[in-house]
């Protein structure tokens, strides 16, 4: 047995059991007792009746305005849950809390003195004012709203105001470039854009309005742009016909606004994510199923109770933030921490300071962040007590057992279970995840959430255990995507073509003999850099859009902190001279096209790239060669000699 296999085996055998107290007091156990379900296995078994289970989950989390006619209808790989129910997620996330003085968000600005506490009541009123203002601008049910905002409280306000009047929000991560924002706004034909003057990142102001202005130079559908004043005096250019200050337009509005009565299946938002082609796809989520899926998972996986202080340290620009900073915590009526800035500003213990200051009880973050903190060293943690923490979470990429153990020991002080949650933009909510009653194995996301049926299949569609294969979900679930915006062909091709009527996640995973899932990562078409999902082809098309680049191939290399780093092989146009300046220029070019997160760590110039006879660049072969792995049979390539040449790249 190789040493590597031995380590895997040891990890599989190492089990961390939850304390009796955690199990007994957990929300899921209380529910199981009510339903006379005696064990975790029995719960999973019973929940195989998905219609029964998800209806129970709905009863635990939402209140339909009018009951559904049919719990599940399926057609052509589209699933309609709770069909016929009249609903709007805002009833549960906002309206039912309208008189509560409890804090909804504790917001920490990056400049340390800036803290805002927003009660559920204040949030309700602020949302209503904006919703009224949006109506006056002519926004109606079904209109798309492009939101380009950093981590400030006005971001959830903008999302909820859109949802309230039945409009569809589409948040674009504030770290994306002007061009990436423009591409998304044009794809969805947004009528209104909401942005801000700027925000703080590592002590500097990032001028977001400037990027929005650049994006809006070529967006014919956009009529108005609402601008939030976040900074003290960042100067902005002003388009009198288009731009409106947020504080001015809401000033005159009433703090009451009728919530639009929607169908449970009506779209709530579009969120763009990377896939196998150069163009990101607009994933659609709805009001009803999404509300049930996010709220029940947060309630059971992170076991949130009325007194908890929850901190999901993701950015709202990604699905994690949509589901677990905005919608689910609000539905559950829990207090959330929201932080604007960089984790290491002004010092690497900023997070630990925030946890002690606000007595955070449950923390949810990514393996990249954990590895970064490991790298800073324990001395930054030892200055703080962290004793308020009772549960921890991880999301976005596989967590290596070393990082898991470090998180457990130094942050959780060996008393907090770690919920390693596997899910996707498309799934809407956690799908493979422990519950507080689950025995944990470091590095494994453990078992499917009740009502989710996951398997690992081989290429022929046969279930396999103890070997890597395709991760699939066999049955629909309420939080699942409701389609790809204006692209039904891509929806069918991406998720339903490989195995008919089975959802293909696009991840490689393995199930061990105890039924535990070990997700290994994306298949070869998508990179995960610091937990951010970036299509290889997005980076390649950005490179090829540079006038001096003829062809490009982007691959991911394992990276100690970020999970993966980006290496791009570039063929320059004939006669172009290689230079260090050009290398830097290309890196910056990708930053401008997509955003800083997609900038290659390394650009290597080559004369040729291995291709199939039909001319497709073989990324898999390139990656294997670069990592010193077996490249497989390359004799069928049109230019097998290009494989060896890769090692001579400059």
- Residues of this chain that interact with ligand PRX (CB under 6 A) are 273, 319-320, 395-398, 420-425, 445, 505-507, 519, 521-522, 528, 533
Rounded to the nearest whole angstrom, what is the least distance from the CB of residue 322 to ligand PRX in the complex? 10
Total number of residues shown for the chain: 650
Rounded to the nearest whole angstrom, what is the least distance from the CB of residue 280 to ligand PRX in the complex? 11
Give the residue with the Cβ less far from ligand PRX, 257 or 505. Answer: 505
Give the residue with the Cβ less far from ligand PRX, 351 or 422. Answer: 422
**Residue 216 DSSP class:** G
Give the residue with the Cβ less far from ligand PRX, 447 or 528. Answer: 528
Rounded to the nearest whole angstrom, what is the least distance from the CB of residue 522 to ligand PRX in the complex? 5
Give the residue with the Cβ less far from ligand PRX, 299 or 528. Answer: 528
Rounded to the nearest whole angstrom, what is the least distance from the CB of residue 447 to ligand PRX in the complex? 13
Closest CA to 280 of 179, 171, 183, 178: 183
Residue nearest to ligand PRX (CB): 425
Do the strands 309-312 and 362-365 form a parallel or antiparallel pair, or are they unpaired? parallel
Rounded to the nearest whole angstrom, what is the least distance from the CB of residue 374 to ligand PRX in the complex? 18
Q: What does each C-alpha distance from 2 to 12, 125, 401 come to in angstroms?
A: 16, 62, 18
Do the strands 563-572 and 362-365 form a parallel or antiparallel pair, or are they unpaired? unpaired
CA 30, 62, 451: angle at the middle one, nearest 5?
60
Give the residue with the Cβ less far from ligand PRX, 7 or 647. Answer: 7
Give the residue with the Cβ less far from ligand PRX, 299 or 522. Answer: 522
Rounded to the nearest whole angstrom, what is the least distance from the CB of residue 427 to ligand PRX in the complex? 8
Give the residue with the Cβ less far from ligand PRX, 216 or 509. Answer: 509
Closest CA to 226 of 239, 217, 235, 215: 239
Rounded to the nearest whole angstrom, what is the least distance from the CB of residue 206 to ligand PRX in the complex? 22
CB-neighbour burial class of residue 493 (10 A; exposed 0-12, middle 13-18, buried 19+): middle
Distance from first CA to last CA of the chain, Å, rounded?
38
Rounded to the nearest whole angstrom, what is the least distance from the CB of residue 527 to ligand PRX in the complex? 10
Rounded to the nearest whole angstrom, what is the least distance from the CB of residue 237 to ligand PRX in the complex? 33
Rounded to the nearest whole angstrom, what is the least distance from the CB of residue 298 to ligand PRX in the complex? 13
Give the residue with the Cβ less far from ligand PRX, 184 or 224. Answer: 184
Backbone angles phi, psi at 295, to 5 degrees: -70, -40
Structure tokens at 367: 């393996």
Q: What does each C-alpha distance from 326 to 84, 339, 367, 369 come to in angstroms?
A: 25, 13, 22, 21
Closest CA to 435 of 29, 12, 13, 21: 29
Give the residue with the Cβ less far from ligand PRX, 147 or 519. Answer: 519
| 212 and 190 Cβ atoms separated by less than 8 Å | no
Q: Which stretches of 207-287 are DSSP H helices?
A: 208-215, 246-251
Structure tokens at 16: 């961390």
For 607, other C-beta atoms within 10 Å of its C-beta total 11
Give the residue with the Cβ less far from ligand PRX, 505 or 549. Answer: 505
Structure tokens at 335: 């207090």
44 sits in which H/E element: helix 40-46
Do the strands 532-535 and 549-559 form a parallel or antiparallel pair, or are they unpaired? unpaired
Give the residue with the Cβ less far from ligand PRX, 273 or 336. Answer: 273
Rounded to the nearest whole angstrom, what is the least distance from the CB of residue 349 to ligand PRX in the complex? 25
Whole-number Å distance between alpha carbons of 517 and 539: 30
Q: Which stretches of 302-378 are DSSP H helices?
A: 319-321, 328-332, 350-358, 367-376
């Amino acid at each position: 047995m190789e040493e590597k296999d031995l380590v895997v085996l040891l990890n599989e055998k190492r089990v961390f059991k939850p304390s009796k107290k955690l199990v007994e007091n957990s929300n899921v156990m209380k529910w199981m007792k009510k339903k006379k379900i005696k064990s975790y296995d029995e719960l999973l078994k019973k929940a195989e009746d998905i219609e029964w289970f998800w209806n129970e989950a709905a009863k635990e989390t939402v209140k339909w305005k009018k009951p559904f006619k049919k719990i599940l209808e399926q057609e052509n790989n589209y699933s309609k849950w709770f069909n016929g129910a009249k609903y709007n997620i805002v009833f549960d996330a906002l309206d039912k809390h309208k008189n509560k003085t409890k804090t909804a968000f504790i917001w920490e600005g990056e400049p340390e003195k800036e803290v805002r506490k927003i009660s559920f009541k204040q949030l309700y009123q602020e949302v209503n004012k904006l919703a009224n203002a949006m109506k006056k601008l002519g926004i109606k049910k079904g209109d798309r709203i492009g939101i380009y905002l950093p981590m400030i409280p006005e971001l959830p306000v903008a999302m909820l105001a859109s949802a309230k009047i039945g409009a569809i929000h589409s948040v674009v991560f504030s770290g994306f470039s002007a061009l990436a924002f423009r591409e998304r706004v044009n794809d969805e034909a947004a009528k209104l854009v909401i942005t801000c003057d700027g925000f703080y990142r590592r002590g500097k102001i990032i001028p977001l309005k400037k990027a929005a202005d650049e994006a809006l130079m070529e967006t014919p559908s956009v009529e108005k742009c609402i601008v939030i004043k976040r900074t003290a005096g960042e100067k902005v250019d002003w388009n009198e016909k288009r731009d409106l200050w947020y504080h001015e337009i809401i000033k005159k509005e009433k703090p009451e606004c009728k919530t639009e009565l929607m169908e449970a299946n009506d779209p709530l938002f579009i969120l763009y994510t990377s896939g196998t082609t150069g163009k990101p796809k607009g994933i659609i989520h709805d009001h009803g199923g999404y509300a049930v899926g996010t709220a029940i998972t947060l309630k059971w996986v992170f076991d949130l109770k009325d007194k908890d202080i929850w901190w999901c340290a993701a950015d709202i620009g990604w699905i994690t933030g949509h589901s677990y900073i905005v919608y689910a915590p609000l539905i559950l009526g829990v207090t959330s921490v929201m932080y604007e800035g960089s984790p290491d500003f002004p010092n690497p213990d900023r997070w630990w300071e925030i946890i002690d200051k606000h007595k955070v009880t449950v923390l949810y973050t990514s393996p990249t962040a954990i590895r970064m903190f490991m790298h800073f060293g324990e001395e930054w943690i030892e200055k703080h007590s962290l004793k308020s923490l009772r549960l921890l979470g991880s999301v976005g990429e596989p967590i290596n057992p070393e990082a898991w153990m470090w998180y457990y020991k130094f942050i959780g002080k060996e008393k907090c279970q770690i919920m390693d949650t596997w899910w996707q933009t498309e799934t809407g909510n956690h799908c493979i995840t422990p519950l507080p009653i689950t025995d944990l194995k470091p590095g494994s996301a453990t078992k499917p959430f009740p009502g989710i049926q996951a398997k690992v299949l081989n290429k022929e569609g046969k279930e396999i255990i103890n070997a890597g294969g395709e991760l699939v979900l066999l049955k629909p679930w309420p939080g699942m995507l409701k389609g790809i915006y204006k692209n039904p062909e891509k929806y069918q091709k991406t998720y339903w073509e490989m195995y008919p009527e089975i959802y293909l996640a696009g991840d490689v995973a393995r199930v061990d003999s105890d039924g535990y899932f070990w997700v290994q990562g994306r298949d070869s078409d998508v990179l995960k850099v610091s937990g951010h999902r970036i299509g290889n082809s997005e980076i390649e098309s950005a490179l090829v859009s540079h006038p001096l680049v003829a062809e490009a191939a982007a691959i991911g290399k394992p990276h100690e902190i970020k999970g993966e780093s980006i290496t791009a092989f570039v063929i320059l146009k004939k006669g172009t001279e290689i230079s260090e300046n050009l290398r830097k220029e290309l890196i910056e070019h990708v930053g401008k096209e997509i955003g800083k997160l997609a900038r290659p760590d390394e650009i290597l110039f080559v004369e040729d790239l291995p291709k199939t006879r039909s001319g497709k660049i073989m990324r898999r072969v390139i990656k294997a060669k670069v990592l010193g792995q077996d490249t497989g049979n390359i004799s069928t390539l049109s230019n097998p000699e290009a494989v060896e040449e890769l090692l001579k790249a400059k």
